[in-house]
Structure 1
Amino acid sequence: MYEQTSHALLNDILTKLKPELEHPNMRHFYTRLGANFYAIHSLFHLLYGEREDFPAQMLKLVETLARRYVERPTRLRDSDMGREQHYDWFLSQKWVGMAVYCDRFADNLEDMRDKLPYLQDLGVNLLHIMPILACPPSASDGGYAVSDYYKVDPRYGSNDDVKALAETMAQRDMLLVLDVVVNHTSDQHAWAQSARKGVTKYQDYYYAFDDRSMPDAFEQTMPEIFPVNAPGNFTWDAAMGKWVMTVFNHYQWDLNYRNPEVLIDMIGIMLFWANKGVDILRLDAVAFLWKKMGSTCQNEREAHLLLQLMKDCCQVTAPGVLFIAEAIVAPSEIAKYFGEDAINAKECEIAYNATLMALLWDAVATKNARLLNQGVRSLPVKLDRATWLNYVRCHDDIGLGFDDQDIRHVDYDPHAHRQFLLNYFTGHFPGSTARGLPFSVNAKTGDARFSGSLASLVGLEAAIEANDAYGIDMSIQTIITLHAVILSFGGIPLLYYGDAIGMVNDQIYLSDPNKADDNRWMHRYYFDWEKAAKRKQSGTLEYRIFSALKKLIALRKEIVAFADIQNRELLSVSNPNLLVYLQTDHKTSKSQVLVVANFNAEPQTLQLDEISASIPFFRQVAKDLVAGTLLELEGRTITVPALGFFWLAEG
């Protein structure tokens, strides 16, 4: 968009760019800068326009973008242009992800290249490596307390190892996802160390106060993230003689984005890793970016403006790079992290579908799909050029973040129902075989989350110990059905390492004093490669799970209707134990797949006449895409196996 004030400022900035930022092949950079500058200037002005140094900060921002473009390798510039041409490339059904810990799935980044064949055997082509940037060996929050944004932690390898891994993955048509922790740093970061020494510039990088008056005012409305292990939101730093905002842990200092230098530095960091070949940047804790007195300091409008600025700047320098919003927030808030444009994601192209994850766990515990159906019906509509990360399990604890109104709609009491779920998954409900542990119990409110591996939470660990063949069968079937949903729901399915071979809780974390008080480490296990080898031995539980998921993933990649183009229709049925939805290939309107999942431990019947208007193509027979057989429909009913599912197409 042309606007005179912005255009004049841009001309002034370009005349002041340093000579070393001139480059013979800057045409694409200047084209993108011109196209995005009005938005960049407007957003920057909304946030920082009252500052006297606004023009100087704008110059610094553009210099950062130009410098990173000059540094960007030719291979990546070519990739950018290809992705610009095929702008909806990431909505394809061919992408399937997995999240891993570098030193728990492999030895290090170099060894990770040797582990790629395992991922490809399963069908995974998008790899999220959990935080690998330098952090203190002890107080690191699993890598989310960064002490150096420009350096890989030596325990994992080097920056060159990231580049080599990215190049190898690109050759295999695989995508690399890395974290950038944008909300806070370690208290050992150079910025924090300088702040401790009294350097005013870096004290302004954080929220630091001389006395408790401001912290106490903030605390009036700010919730506690870890009320047990890290109560409160401020920590006294004796060396600096100030109270520092520490929303997560005492050693994680929240960055002050009211200071434009923080934003500019962070954009430079993001583009630095984009230039190493990272395809997708996972931006951690984005809901917390802007702090405002009298609020929860979450989901503020300015946090969204910051993300829009980050995205616009990335579009100038590295437009082929995507953002994931790590925003585990209320269902009504999640979709806002795509941005509020009519079509394109103005903030992050990808967001975690935490609501679907929580709803699936509800169905596992209740053995019905009542809340699951209601919650899916209430999910906000995403933008056309945006997608969900659908997952069953991740590295974190499981929060029960569905909407109270949805819970009441299915005649549950919100507080009592959440307490039931917590009791169920921690094995304290009669008949439950789940082996989870409560996490971060808030004594004031009674709220809590829970930890545990997928296999342990669905009862597989208990069934193995009891030598319960039926329990093993049902647990394995639950694992497969949960994945059948996330693989067919539309979006990018994200598996968790270990789930495809049925890994259970690992108690070794209890012997590590740095991890013993955080039970999330019991599902952040070391990957068992001996167990993984059993995936090739017919009859083993590893074989049963792995081969089933491998087959589903391969099928998914062939089913165009599973691409994420606003093509899912949730169908209402009278059987409360079933989740039923239709996926359609809107490009041809011919390919349609009916997904039916049964969350009850008994076979359930689907009455086809209830959904006949949506499936006119279902006449005498339907094709079971997973079994590769025809399903007779003479009685106009389908019997869905206990805890089973169907992917059905026209016969």
Structure 2
Amino acid sequence: MRTGSSDQTLTLCERVAQHLAFIYREVEPGPDCPALAEELLAIMRLASDTPAPPTHVNQWDQGDALVLSYGGSILAPGEPPLRTLKHFLDRYLQGRVSGVHILPFYPYSSDDGFAVLDYLSVNEELGDWEDIQAIADKYDLMADLVINHCSAEGEWFRNFLNNRDPGRGFFVTAAPATDLEAVVRPRTTPLLREVQAVDGPRHVWCTFSPDQVDLDFRNPRVLAEMVRIVRYYLDNGVRIFRLDAIAFLWKVPGTSCLNLDETHEVVRLLRTLVSHARPDAMLITETNIPNQENLSYFGNGNEAHCVYNFSLPPLLLNTLVTGDCTYLKQWMMSMPPPQHGTAYFNFIASHDGIGLRPAEGLLSEDELQALIGTMRRFGGHVSYRRLADGESKPYEINIALFDALQGTVEGPDEHNIPRFLCAHAIMLGLEGIPGIYLHSLLATHNDHERVEETGHPRSINRHQWNLAELEEALADPTSEHGVVHRGMLELLEIRQRQAAFHPNATQFTLHLGCQLFGFWRQSADRRQSIFCISNVSALAQTLNLADINLIDTEAWQDLLTGRPFQSRVEQVTLAPYQTVWITNLPDHR
């Protein structure tokens, strides 16, 4: 039985203690849950009678979109990169985004920030907390709570090896003979790493890499330290917490150690604490796993505010390189509308690769292999994960999205830019909050040199721009970087004005064949409808307006071109990868 009680007769301290009792129910000896609850409230500076925030309230609208970026993605001589990033956002995004996700900006030892050395510091190569706060003052700031693991070079792990605090008992260990065959792995490196501690050899649990050692939340001191970090981030302007790799948090040998009940309860506990501390704060779970498992992190509206829509990137990419939307449409029809107070976080590119686990059960094995083969021809790499039988299986495709969409399964063609903008027009029309990778706004290509420098396939999509070179490219009217940037800003600007693009507005999938992908959005007040239809093929396609049942008494117009439609039986020719947003209220807000 899971908790997550919404009983308003309970005090906040009682609710927190209830979460803790469930989390530690099988831990011996377990903590004094009421006392631990009081400690956590003290860390968060909350009183037991702090009023509960309203539930099932949407803290977002169609004006919300986030840009995702490393703190050091744009460099200028003599200026901290975080300051350069803010100047770029202010000048080149022109109010088109409401928030920014700055990927781990803490000191780290590996994995481009996800092996954290010190959670409470800003990497001095990027800037300082004043730079972070300056961004948070103007944009909704999303930051990573790297909760599953930390660096093997950090103070906590050094103290663990020397049996000192803080760090004593902070990390998961297991005997080499332990049956761990059922554990789900996202990597091919060994799960256990032998280290020498003052009391002898220990085998520590490393889900992701030998330098990223998993924290042991069975120890309540670990939970208390993580809550202390959450409070510090709130104090420094963080509004949105990305719970990194949260699905792997709790370990029980003999199980998959993935999505365990205790993990879900930790999310519910963090939701309770964060929402009481800042009612407009949000939790987003990063769970690169099959679709139904991913959706479970909504809970009953009491876990994540948003879940990453991980199945969208591989399905949309597959659609655009095959010219067939069948799989994407089937998935869309199976997706439940999030209840109020929750939303999908839509993205099609990120600092990581295009995950293939979220496509399991959605794309056939033949489709997956064809997609992988096409991406390899376009300069991409493939990362693998280890299965229980010792075999390896493709885990993600590593490629810059602009290069991933340079052609179809037939090879490269002349439709790169239209295809790329089509992908984003589809994403921006879908129910949910859009997250746009900075490099998608800039049409950044594969960075093969960076892969050679780092030895990591993911570096292909983590280019660092020189600001002067970037500004020159954006100013050139013939540059693909400038064309894409202007096209993306136009899509974002139009989206912001449409009530039917509210993240929770009604959505229905349309059935227009395999080459036309379409869906209908309707605003909460039912005044505005938008029919979002994209030609996902390299050939012109005919759209019969009779197939989408436009109401005769309304005047309909394409938001993207301004073209009016005079008759509900009109036929419209869509060029390769053209999108239309057909609405009855083009200026509805």
Paired residues in the alignment total 568
Q: Map 1:360-379 to 2 at 5 A.
A: 360-379=316-335
Amino acid at match of 2:287: A
Distance 2:481 2:27 in 1: 60
Contact 1:183 1:285 in 2 (8 A): yes
Contact 2:546 2:569 in 1 (8 A): no
Aligned pair in 2 of structure 1 residues 441, 205: CA closer, same or farther (>3 Å)?
Answer: closer
Cα deviation, residue 631, structure 1: 2.9
Q: Map 1:226-245 to 2 at 5 A.
A: 226-227=187-188, 231-239=189-197, 241-245=201-205
- Structure 1 unmatched ranges of 5 or more: 1-5, 8-31, 72-79, 408-413, 428-433
Distance 2:55 2:247 in 1: 30
Tell me the TM-score normalised to structure 2 length. Answer: 0.89
- Aligned residue for 1:554, secondary structure, equals helix
Which residue number in structure 2 is paired with residue 509 of structure 1?
450
Q: Does 1:299 align with 2:266?
A: no
Aligned pair in 2 of structure 1 residues 121, 200: CA closer, same or farther (>3 Å)?
Answer: closer
Cα deviation, residue 591, structure 1: 0.6
Q: Map 1:629-644 to 2 at 5 A.
A: 629-633=563-567, 635-644=569-578
- Aligned residue for 2:474, secondary structure, equals helix
Which residue number in structure 2 is paired with residue 37 of structure 1?
13
Q: Does 1:184 align with 2:168?
A: no
Q: Does 1:127 align with 2:61?
A: no
Distance 2:13 2:46 in 1: 18
User: Which of 284, 294, 312 is matched with 1:334 structurally?
Assistant: 294
Amino acid at match of 1:278: V
Q: Map 1:281-430 to 2 at 5 A.
A: 281-339=241-299, 341=300, 345-402=301-358, 404-407=360-363, 414-427=364-377
Which residue number in structure 2 is paired with residue 91 of structure 1?
60
- Aligned residue for 2:546, secondary structure, equals helix
Aligned pair in 2 of structure 1 residues 618, 234: CA closer, same or farther (>3 Å)?
Answer: farther
Contact 1:105 1:526 in 2 (8 A): yes
Which segment drifts farther, 319-328 or 88-97?
A: 88-97
Which residue number in structure 2 is paired with residue 547 of structure 1?
486
- Aligned residue for 1:238, secondary structure, equals strand
Distance 1:190 1:386 in 2: 37
Cα root mean square deviation, aligned = 3.0
More helix by share: 1
Contact 1:134 1:148 in 2 (8 A): yes
Which residue number in structure 2 is paired with residue 268 of structure 1?
228
Which residue number in structure 1 is paired with residue 435 of structure 2?
494
Aligned pair in 2 of structure 1 residues 437, 558: CA closer, same or farther (>3 Å)?
Answer: same
Contact 1:271 1:318 in 2 (8 A): no
Amino acid at match of 2:89: L
Aligned pair in 2 of structure 1 residues 507, 201: CA closer, same or farther (>3 Å)?
Answer: closer
Which residue number in structure 2 is paired with residue 608 of structure 1?
545
Which residue number in structure 2 is paired with residue 3 of structure 1?
none
Aligned pair in 2 of structure 1 residues 270, 618: CA closer, same or farther (>3 Å)?
Answer: farther
Distance 1:330 1:202 in 2: 33
Contact 1:579 1:596 in 2 (8 A): yes
- Aligned residue for 1:394, secondary structure, equals coil
Aligned pair in 2 of structure 1 residues 304, 571: CA closer, same or farther (>3 Å)?
Answer: same
Contact 2:155 2:167 in 1 (8 A): no
Contact 1:246 1:253 in 2 (8 A): yes
Which residue number in structure 2 is paired with residue 596 of structure 1?
533
- Aligned residue for 2:170, secondary structure, equals coil
Cα deviation, residue 609, structure 1: 3.5
Distance 2:515 2:357 in 1: 21
Aligned pair in 2 of structure 1 residues 567, 545: CA closer, same or farther (>3 Å)?
Answer: same
Tell me the TM-score normalised to structure 1 length. Answer: 0.81
Distance 1:400 1:271 in 2: 35
Cα deviation, residue 95, structure 1: 0.8
Q: Deviations over 1:43-67 (max 9, x none)?
A: 1111225678767554344334334
- Aligned residue for 2:357, secondary structure, equals coil
Which segment drifts farther, 272-281 or 542-551?
A: 542-551
Distance 1:86 1:46 in 2: 22
Which residue number in structure 1 is paired with residue 406 of structure 2?
459
Cα deviation, residue 406, structure 1: 3.8
Which residue number in structure 2 is paired with residue 439 of structure 1?
383
Contact 1:532 1:542 in 2 (8 A): no
User: Which of 198, 206, 213 is matched with 2:177 structurally?
Assistant: 213
- Structure 2 unmatched ranges of 5 or more: 1-5
Aligned pair in 2 of structure 1 residues 589, 221: CA closer, same or farther (>3 Å)?
Answer: same
- Aligned residue for 1:509, secondary structure, equals helix
Which segment drifts farther, 326-335 or 51-60?
A: 51-60
